A and B are shown apart, each in its own frame.
Chain A
Amino acid sequence: MTETAPAPARSVQESPAQVRSLADRMREIEFDPRMIGMVVALSLIWIGFNWLSGGAFLTPRNLWNLLVQTASIAVMACGMVLVIVTRNIDLSVGAMLGFVGMVVGLVQVRLLPEFWGFEHPLTWIVSLVAAIGLGGLVGLFQGALIAFLAIPSFIVTLGGLLVWRGAAWWVTQGQTIAPMDGRFRPLGGGIEGAIGAPASWAIGLVICAIIIAGMAFARRRRARFGFSLRPLWAELAMAGLACGAVLGAVLIANAYLLPAGVARRLTEAQGLAWPPGGLAIGHGLAVPVLLALAVGVAMTFLTTRLRFGRYVFAIGGNPEAAQLSGVNTRKVLMLVYGLMGALVGVSACISTARLNAATNSAGQLDELYVIAAAVIGGTSLAGGVGTIAGAMLGALVMQSLQSGMVLIGVDTPLQNIVVGVVLVVAVWLDGLYRKRLG
């Protein structure tokens, strides 16, 4: 093993003079065609609804709300990708969200105030940590049943769906808990959950800087090993596209103006005079959207850069091979469910804060939307294939369909029919695509 036979140079460098198919070219510049397909589908949905609603869809106000409404499902979809990649399923996330949400409500409205009174500055963070911890524990427990007792995940989480929904009712015997803590509410969006225009610009620029630095770093690293690099134009186009999307989102969020009354109150609260012509103050990015983005970035890092993510995908591709390679497959599977539970905890906070109340029916049918988002986003139910970004886009597609239909006045039963049909058609198209190019 010590000697390294002289490998022919051409095995290191790709031979240039070859007729390449379109798929090869796409692979070379590392554009994922499926992702492009999803962006195109999303654009068509947006343009279609904008036309049908007479221009009401593509307004800053609607887009801002759309993103806020997507946040909760998008966060959970990140975890569901890993669950489905390992060839499992989690049907209990909606019920878990209800249960965790009720406990969070109880903690911040009944328990913590007994210690330190209402509106304590630490209440919101204690609530958030408690939700993530409780969700994580519930997830780990279900994961242990699946991984170590070898009970099928479908059954464990189907049982979980009933158990946690029942438990959500049990927490307060069905009573709704409201209102939430003032510092907790921004997690759900709304006017108090918007960070304002200047902060939005700052965050947008920081994100752009990170994107460019990350791409430059990766390129230099590949160059040092003498690997093939994607063409510079493709690299620059990618960077431009990514930064454009970020700054575009900031622009739209800032263009959604606060109602005049609120803007006036805020201005006067800062000791400034309200000018006679009024002031245009933008909402800026919403806290839940930023939270969802942060979860998405962290989960993408976990799946692509860490050993844990590599194991998750290897288990999905061939569980036996992963085990024979020395991967502790049971532990990994249990942790995947723990992670799913922790993300349910985050979503429970977002939706409880958004509603400004904890109800035992929160999160009903969420499991189906989360699974649909992951699957529309390219996660294969056969296991081993899926991306976080795809699942988040999938969540956005689902929410766009729903919001759009509400906007143009489609009846609720028909909405469900359309969403169901779209899910089936999307998976069918994805299967066709895989067969042709996979």
Chain B
Amino acid sequence: MDVTAPLVEMRDISIAFGGIKAVDGASVDLHAGEVVGLLGHNGAGKSTLIKILSGAYRADSGEIRVSGEPVAITSPRDAKRHGIETIYQTLALADNVDAAANIFLGRELLTPWRTLDDATMESETRKVMGRLNPHFRRFKEPVKALSGGQRQSVAIARAIYFNARVLIMDEPTAALGPAETKQVAELILELKRQGIGIFLISHDLHDVFELADRVSVMKNGRVVGSAPVRDVTQDEVLGMIISGKCPAGATPGPGALAG
């Protein structure tokens, strides 16, 4: 693997829904062991951009490279094949089945007779959940019976169980209490140490400054600019989000305010 090539690179990505350009010529990249915060208002295009990477949407134009190689991502299955896993803001869990069924959904373990290997899946679930949430014990219940934090653990377990290289976290702490938020923060740092690249989408500037190495700011579907967090202040980033003004410490993108 080329060490200098980013783990993921999205170049000049555009997508339009019914004439409205949700994402317009956006470029972002992510290196191994790096956390990149994606910031912007509601409707700035950050979730849409990330859904293109996770395979939920298909870009109208642009290129996605994984470890320097151009790849075609046309479905969630493609993204997962390249080691790109996503934790959605809504968690995207099937509420009526248990934790194991959710973690292995679409990638079930099978017995030699092509039937579901529920015992092995439950055993693996116990292992991965034991790591994330040692007190978790409700393996047989549908996930709708679980608390917000437990549901979050299931969604995270699903993303990290299959040896993800790139993790996309869309508002991972939006529905959590302070203690659980801290847990997620610790997990992000732990995954980063393991060399996983993480896109962190958040409204919370404070969180992003604590966890991210770099930030990319979007406004009206375009990238205002990117900067390492040590080169910019929270106020400057706020300015980028609100007015699109790119400060001196940041590399301006196509969406930066002229002048």
Contact = CB atoms under 8 A, between A and B. Distances in A.
- Are the chains A and B members of one assembly? yes
B106 A325 contact: yes
Nearest to B77: A326
B94 A12 contact: no
A310 B126 contact: no
A313 B127 contact: no
Interface string A1-15: 100110110011010
Interface stretch (A221-229, A281-289, A344-352): A221-229
A4 B127 contact: yes
B93 interface: yes
Given A8-B130, A305-B115, A225 B123 contact: yes
Contacts of A322: 94, 105-106
A314 B134 contact: no
Interface stretch (B7-15, B95-103, B176-184): B95-103
A227 B124 CA distance: 12
A222 B120 CA distance: 10
A136 B249 CA distance: 65
B209 interface: no
A39 B150 CA distance: 35
Nearest to A383: B96
A2 to B, nearest CB: 9
Contact of B97 (A1, A4, A222, A313): A313
A310 B104 CA distance: 10
Interface string A319-345: 011111111000000000000000000
A435 interface: no
A105 interface: no
Given A1-B163, A306-B115, A321 B94 contact: yes
Interface string B74-97: 011100100000101011111111
Interface string B117-128: 001101100110
Given A1-B160, A317-B94, A318-B93, A307 B116 contact: yes
A317 B97 CA distance: 8
Contacts, number: 109
B96 A11 contact: no
A110 interface: no
A56 B76 CA distance: 60
Interface in B200-220: none
Interface of B is mostly: loop
A306 B106 contact: no
A121 B86 CA distance: 58
Interface string A298-318: 000000111100100111111
A172 to B, nearest CB: 43
B226 interface: no
Interface string B154-181: 0000101101000000000000000000
Contact of A307 (B54, B108, B135, B137): B108
A191 B115 CA distance: 39
B94 A314 contact: yes
Nearest to B54: A324
A27 interface: yes
A315 B56 CA distance: 16
Contacts of A318: 92-95
Contacts of B114: 306-307
Nearest to A321: B92
A14 B94 contact: no
B96 A323 contact: no
A314 B126 contact: no
Interface string A219-255: 0011011010000000000000000000000000000
A384 B76 CA distance: 22
Given A1-B163, A325-B106, A225 B122 contact: yes
B116 A7 contact: no
A11 B126 contact: yes
B194 interface: yes
Given A7-B126, A12-B126, A324-B92, A227 B119 contact: yes
A385 interface: yes
A207 B145 CA distance: 36
Contacts of B136: 11
Nearest to B132: A5
Given A314-B94, A326-B106, A326-B107, 4 more contacts: A227-B122, A306-B116, A313-B96, A324-B88
Interface of B: 54, 56, 75-77, 80, 86, 88, 90-97, 101-102, 105-108, 110, 114-116, 119-120, 122-123, 126-127, 129-131, 134-137, 140-142, 158, 160-161, 163, 194
23 contacts: A1-B160, A1-B163, A4-B131, A7-B126, A11-B134, A27-B140, A227-B119, A227-B122, A306-B116, A307-B108, A310-B97, A310-B105, A313-B96, A314-B94, A314-B105, A317-B142, A321-B92, A321-B93, A322-B94, A324-B54, A325-B76, A325-B92, A384-B94
Interface of A: 1, 4-5, 7-8, 11-12, 14, 27, 221-222, 224-225, 227, 304-307, 310, 313-318, 320-327, 384-385
